[in-house]
Structure 1
């Protein structure tokens, strides 16, 4: 829908604080007057903006945001239509702060989950380093989000950095399969340390290798941002991007369930990890114990109840509310160890902990493919945010938003790697907040970025997530990872199921599912153990590609999409569009 729609324009003006008829507002803000009045008029406007009741509160119905969806409280808002604030509309200051916090809260689950999975499930890092990685993820997410919302124009070029939308940026989950497979490989070959009984020990150097390799490979995504979106869509159609999202979600649900059962360390573990999460825990239990499963269900069920009965503010932060309930129940029943929280610093920042950077040849190909996939997979999220923000979703300006978003993600990953954090990607998880509150203003995005940075600086905040029982974290992760799989299904739902597309999906998903159900099927194929370091690194890279579900599926899908002819078949004639006419496959 175009942003120039008369009905939307009328609605936007109705809620815009810049309405000239406001008698209490200085004339300096009317059209063209800012230049004419000069510095005094600007100061007069600033004084009015910071002290006026109208600028702080406006006419927004704040009670709507906190009214639960429970009869009879919800009767008043049964047919309520929230006012719409566009990208550049002036939003009441209080509403901007509330919604900025709301956007930040809705991101917490997706920000903390990757570093916690990396630290605990892949590299077995100590609690202090885990807490630091969570804080670093918040800080770098805030910086990348601010850059995305601002939309910086590259001088004397048609290119931008950022979408200029209320787009949020957070750690990508796509790094997790690579990290898990890579550390598994390093523990097997002895380059990551283990205890005499075989128990994995912390391996920070492996994370340093991923960071160093990311710094070398992220440039491919930065370069891809200058490729026209139509070309990217032709090479990476929805049949490819949808399948990789689906595979990432399914793969990670298994990892989330490992935590839900108690911890991935203690599933079949012995010695210190014979019980979950370890023998030193306040209440160690065996993996899958009913009490541990119950703790995870408190999170999952709470999310469902909030979605059904919660107020608009509660619904858009249902994940963090579910996490809070799980933490509360587990705390009251004695499953928490407060020592890590007490030992955490009150404030922290980037580089409090550092890692020895290195470049591992085995990581180069998988990371290159991952960053190529990131450049394409963010496009549907940017489209969804643009559509719900009521701006054009086609044409030159929209293409520049896609270009700016891909470039911002690439630079965000570069900044994050320099700040010891995981790679970044644009996310559409905050679109529910925009839809429920009717606010797509960039002011709320800047406010959200500020809150994210502050959450990262306050060290105790990250320590809470680093100390929570794995079962509580697992309940949240299973929900979040399932949303990734659903996003893949949504994208695949846009695919026209011609014979050609069915064949591509069958082959790509077949191999991808094979990796998920039998992850060691390729372990005996390439087993070189000679003295040629370069050849050994190359074979490790091939193994990492083949054994990472979404990467091998993306490679197969892109290859088949490029080489298979677009010949029509009789099956294609039976595919109908919404008007009932046959759809022929002309492009993917």
Structure 2
């Protein structure tokens, strides 16, 4: 089976199937991809046209870096079925940087230029340091990512923030109806139909919403047919030491996340990830952040919800994600098309989000299942404390309110806090103590630990 799986990851499917499967990946990640520009736009009170531009650029660069990651070019790209999108990891730090009156958006882009270059240069070093990121660290990090995104799926399922009918039974009912359709297709169908269960569920929800008149197509009618993506749209970047330091740490945390994604997808497709591939994958993440800075959008990372989709559908061809990347670029260049996809109601996406984001959490739990809790009780402390510290800004947003403002970018990111805490505790309990059990390699990464 591993040999067949390795062949499957490189299989070029018929164009029709490839397009439908690629569109399914786009639909699954679309709401998450545009969520960060929307969140940043609302937080910074940007004009509507600037937010629309951010979304178009986001889709274009997301598609471009997805092509690099899935197809691979010299020095960049891990050649796995992975979709790239704007990272949620940096949202808290970026809001803190942008709300500094001396920096704003341009302060984010200046820090991203340095952190992207830093990430590309650090990729080989990080691959050598993977012994510091055993399953207890990466599993905890993925678990916290999933838990944080649960808030996003809950907001979608309730109708989306800002919706006057937020939390109404019809909004929540739509989400669970879409969820039920996806589950029914998954259970009672097989083959290609099962593979596109999420897409069919979203289309079903869209049809119901359209027939009941709950979809607003005004943004589609008002959108331009073609848009140009230009570098440094908002002006010359600004550079600040603390902002650069914070985003560089975000870059390293992105690598920790990416390690888990690469290993998880490698296991799904039966492809062993060696050191050279890991380095190329890291470099693509760094390149995504650098390109994001140049085109004035935000840092990129491997999207976990699409990893969940690979797990659900069993479709292992990286060319499906490459097609998804091409579709994203088209959506970025043709705002009317992106507006059409963006018209999918949040409640419809909520049904899919409950599955996809839940799958991320399950992926973290599955990785933690490989951790030795019976003979090494310190691992329980690592998971418990890291999750608790990571969730502090979520359960109490004012927890760090009295800390210096310069530290806000670090302290308001749950994913960042959980990752740093897990790495430090693993270093303290396992590495410095010489625990052989926790120096074991991640599945598929044995060669990196020599």
On the 8 A contact 1:546/1:552 being kept in 2, the answer is: yes
8 Å CA contact 1:102–1:313 kept in 2: the answer is no
Show the counterpart of 2:87: 172
**2:426 counterpart of 1:505:** no
Structure-1 residue corresponding to 2:234: 355
Q: Any residues of structure 2 matched to 1:570-585 within 5 Å, and which?
A: 584=437
What is the rounded CA distance, in whole Å, between the counterparts of 2:278 and 2:316 in structure 1? 21
Query: Which protein is bigger by CA-based radius of gyration?
Result: 1
Instruction: Label 1:401 to 1:482 Cα distance change in 2 as closer, same or farther (>3 A).
Output: same
Q: Identify the match of residue 517 of structure 1 among 374, 395, 398.
A: 395
Q: Secondary structure at the match of 1:170?
A: strand
Other-structure match for 1:247: 144
Cα gap change, 1:261/1:104 in structure 2, threshold over 3 Å: closer, same or farther?
closer
How far does residue 549 in structure 1 lie from its aligned partner after superposition?
A: 1.4
Distance 1:302 1:208, change over 3 A: farther
Q: Number of paired residues?
A: 435
Aligned residue in 2 for 1:385: 265
Shift, 1:557, TM fit: 1.8
Shift in alpha-carbon separation, 1:473–1:212, aligned structure 2, 3 A = farther
Q: In structure 2, what is the equivalent of residue 367 of structure 1? A: 247
2: distance between equivalents of 1:549 and 1:434?
Answer: 26
Q: Contact 2:37–2:54 at 8 Å: present in 1 too?
A: no
Residue of structure 1 in register with 2:445 after alignment: none
| Offset at residue 566 of structure 1 (A) | 5.7
1:450 aligned residue (318, 326, 336): 326
Determine if the alignment matches structure 1 residue 222 to structure 2 residue 100.
no
CA contact 1:362–1:540 (8 Å) conserved in 2: no
TM-score, normalising length: structure 2: 0.82
Q: 2:33 aligns to what?
A: 114
Deviation of residue 213 (structure 1)? 2.3
Residue 233 in structure 1 maps to residue 130 in structure 2: yes
Task: Give the conservation status (yes or no) of the 8 Å contact 1:135–1:457.
Answer: yes
Equivalent residue runs for 1:179-190 within 5 Å? 179=94, 186=99
Q: Is 1:139 equivalent to 2:60 in the alignment? A: yes
Distance of 1:477 and 1:124 partners within structure 2:
26
Distance between the aligned counterparts of 2:106 and 2:183, measured in 1?
A: 39
Instruction: Give the secondary-structure state (helix, strand or coil) at the position aligned to 2:129.
Output: helix
Per the alignment, residue 317 of structure 1 pairs with: 196
* Deviations 1:532-565, CA, capped at 9 Å, x for gaps: xxxxxxx223233223212112222222222335
Question: SS of 1:420's equivalent?
Answer: coil
Structure 1 unpaired stretches of 5+: 13-83, 154-159, 193-204, 266-276, 278-283, 527-538, 573-582
Aligned partner of 1:418 in structure 2 is 294
Deviation at 1:126, TM superposition (A): 5.0
Higher helix proportion: 2
1:138 positional shift: 2.7
Please tell me whether the aligned partners of residues 80 and 265 of structure 2 are also in contact (alpha carbons under 8 angstroms): yes
Alpha-carbon offset, residue 567 of structure 1: 8.7
* Match for residue 416 of structure 2 among 530, 551, 557: 551
- TM-score after normalising by structure 1: 0.65
Residue 401 of structure 1 and its aligned partner are, at CA, apart by 0.9
Aligned residues: CA RMSD:
3.5
Counterparts of residues 73-472 of structure 1 (less than 5 Å): 85=8, 87=10, 91=12, 95-120=14-39, 122-153=43-74, 160-179=75-94, 186=99, 206-227=104-125, 229=127, 231-265=128-162, 277=163, 284-285=164-165, 287-351=166-230, 354-356=233-235, 357-359=237-239, 363-391=243-271, 393=272, 398-427=274-303, 429=306, 440=317, 444=320, 446-472=322-348
Matches of 1:386 and 1:473, distance apart in 2? 27
Shift in Å, 1:102: 1.0
Q: After the TM superposition, which of the residue ranges 340-349 and 297-306 deviates more from structure 2?
A: 297-306
Question: Could you say which structure has the greater relative contact order, defined with CA pairs below 8 angstroms and 6 or more residues apart?
Answer: 2
Give the Å deviation of 1:352: 9.6
- Structure 1 CA distance for aligned equivalents of residues 113 and 161 of structure 2: 29
Q: Which residue of 1 aligns with 2:406?
A: 541
Following TM superposition, by how much is the alpha carbon of 1:342 offset from its aligned partner in structure 2, in angstroms?
0.4
CA apart distance, 1:371: 0.8
Match of 2:84, SS?
Answer: strand
- Note the residue ranges of structure 2 that are not aligned, 5 or more in a row: 442-450
Give me the whole-angstrom Cα distance separating, in 1, the residues matched to 2:307 and 2:386.
Answer: 30
Map residues 20-35 of structure 1 onto 2, 5 A cutoff. none
Deviation, 1:405, is 0.9
How many Å separate the matches in 1 of 2:326 and 2:54?
A: 18
- Counterpart of 2:301 in 1: which secondary structure? strand
User: 1:123 deviation in Å?
Assistant: 4.2
